[in-house]
Amino acid sequence: MLDDNEFTKAKELYSLGFKNAKADRFQPLLKYYKDLTGFKETEAAAIMHHQISQYGPVCNICGKPYRTPAAIFCAACGDRID
Ligand SMILES: [Zn+2]
């Protein structure tokens, strides 16, 4: 998962990939993600779903993200947000 600053850079690299006709056009984005996370992602589009703030705050009970910023309860443990 990427924080908002990391995600902004990833989005820039993703946009540049669309402007590049070469077969390895998303290589700069895939390398950036691998350097940040250690995970060798092969699908550039998947990285566009890896912005941690898209998944809402972290649950105080189980530590998992609430899944959306508008969630009213934790899908993992059922804890309700007050
Ligand atoms: Zn929870």
52 alpha carbon to ligand 1 midpoint, in Å?
16
| Residues less than 5 Å from ion ligand 1, measured at CB | 59, 61-62, 74, 76-77, 79
H helices of the chain, in order, are 4-19, 27-37, 44-47
Residues 15 and 31 occupy one common structural domain: yes
Tokens matching residue 12: 């820039």
Residues 44 and 29 sit within 8 Å (Cβ to Cβ): yes
Split into its structural domains, the chain has a count of 2
Residues 36 and 59 occupy one common structural domain: no
Could you tell me the pTM of the whole model?
A: 0.72
Print pLDDT tens along the chain (82 aa): 899 999 999 999 999 999 988 889 999 999 999 999 999 999 999 999 989 888 888 899 999 988 888 999 999 999 998 7
Contacts of 73 (CB under 8 A, 6+ apart): 66, 79, 80, 81
3 alpha carbon to ligand 1 midpoint, in Å?
20
Residues 40 and 9 occupy one common structural domain: yes
67 alpha carbon to ligand 1 midpoint, in Å?
10
Residues 35 and 68 occupy one common structural domain: no
Residues 63 and 80 occupy one common structural domain: yes
Residues 39 and 18 occupy one common structural domain: yes
Range of the domain at 10: 4-50
* pLDDT on residue 55: 87
